[in-house]
Amino acid sequence: MSTNQKYTSENDSKHDENRNKGPSRWSSCRKRGADGSLRRSHPNEEENKDQRCSQRPERFTTPESEGPVSRVKNWGDEVEAEEMRSNVHRDMHRYRRRILAADSPQRDRKISSGSSESRDSKDSPAKGDVETDETTLMRRQKQITYGKNTLAYDRYMKEVPKHMRQPGVHPRTPNKFKKYSRRSWDQQIKLWRVSLHAWDPPAEEGSELEQIEEIDLGEIMDFDFDVECSADTETASQYPESKGASLSLQEDSFTGTPKKMMKIEDAEMA
């Protein structure tokens, strides 16, 4: 069966325009159109089906979508995007509550079990400085997810509990809710990811010592990255690994503790 035939509309009119005019999929039961005018008497069932097919819009905006959504979408992709979106919104609520709590006179610093990446002990942004653009947040979240879906991060989490993290010594996930320029953000991500390599598992025999390359993570997010990916994903992050490229700046790529990184971090490694 041809999917396209079923779903592609022959006219390009948007859903809204179609609603009030002519037969729709529901016209067999409705006496009046949505604009109140009486409908013609019902065409027979078969005809109705064809008309339904041909008049179904190809793209439309629903309350739950951000913009026009094309009809034939892969359910797997959609659900993954839904999940990320709802995670981002949940994070946003938590973050807002945390800022408000910090602003309150009691300065009651309750540490919830939420992600630490949004927790700023010293520099809570002013209320107007929260990043709220969903596209940006989703993009940033993807970058963070890639970083957390690594062996290094997993080992880091196991080795250093959050409450024992020392600022300057231990890598800290960039806060996606703060306002940063694109360049600034991408740079923070790079530095963060590089710093996580301190926790890469010991190199296996035969692996080469590669240079730590500057990779433009912004580009990678947009298309499939043909790299030898480690099939194993193993971290305690609430964001699932998506079908796209899993950046493999992990176990095989880098060996040893990058001492230079420690200097950048400006502290001694424990």
The set of long-range contacts for 241-249, using a CB threshold of 8 Å and a minimum separation of 24, is 241/145, 241/149, 242/80, 242/84, 242/142, 242/145, 243/76, 243/77, 243/80, 245/220, 246/146, 246/149, 247/146, 247/150, 247/215, 247/217, 247/220, 249/150, 249/193, 249/197, 249/215
Residues 6+ apart with CB under 8 A from 265: 168, 169, 171, 195
Residue of 14, 51, 80, 252 that binds other proteins (CB under 8 A): 80
Footprint of other proteins on 8-67 (CB under 8 A): 25-26, 29-30, 45, 64
Residue of 10, 16, 66, 82 that binds other proteins (CB under 8 A): 82
- Shortest Å distance, C-beta 235 to other proteins: 6
Binding status of residue 93 toward other proteins by CB under 8 A: no
Binding status of residue 121 toward other proteins by CB under 8 A: no
**78 or 103: whose CB is closer to other proteins?**
78
Query: Between 180 and 219, how does the x/- string for binding to other proteins read (CB under 8 A)?
Result: ----------------------------------------
Q: Say if CB 93 and CB 99 are below 8 A apart.
A: no
The angle that helices 75-103 and 134-148 make with each other, rounded to 10 degrees, is 100
**185 or 239: whose CB is closer to other proteins?**
239
Query: Between 226 and 245, how does the x/- string for binding to other proteins read (CB under 8 A)?
Result: ------xxxxxx-xxx-x--
Q: Say if CB 42 and CB 28 are below 8 A apart.
A: yes
- Shortest Å distance, C-beta 165 to other proteins: 21
DSSP 37: P
Query: Between 144 and 173, how does the x/- string for binding to other proteins read (CB under 8 A)?
Result: -----x------------------------
- Shortest Å distance, C-beta 180 to other proteins: 26
Binding status of residue 95 toward other proteins by CB under 8 A: no
Tell me the residue type at 60: F
Binding status of residue 75 toward other proteins by CB under 8 A: yes
Q: Could you give the C-alpha distances from 141 to 34, 89, 111, 173, 216, in angstroms and in order?
A: 42, 11, 21, 11, 16
Is residue 206 within a helix (H) or strand (E), and if so which, with residue range?
none
Taking residue 44's Cβ as centre, other Cβ atoms within 10 Å add up to 8
Residue of 11, 20, 70, 86 that binds other proteins (CB under 8 A): 86
Residue of 6, 21, 109, 158 that binds other proteins (CB under 8 A): 6
Judged by DSSP in three states, 130 sits in: strand
Residues that bind other proteins (CB under 8 A): 1, 3, 6, 25-26, 29-30, 45, 64, 73-76, 78-80, 82-83, 86-87, 90, 149, 232-237, 239-241, 243
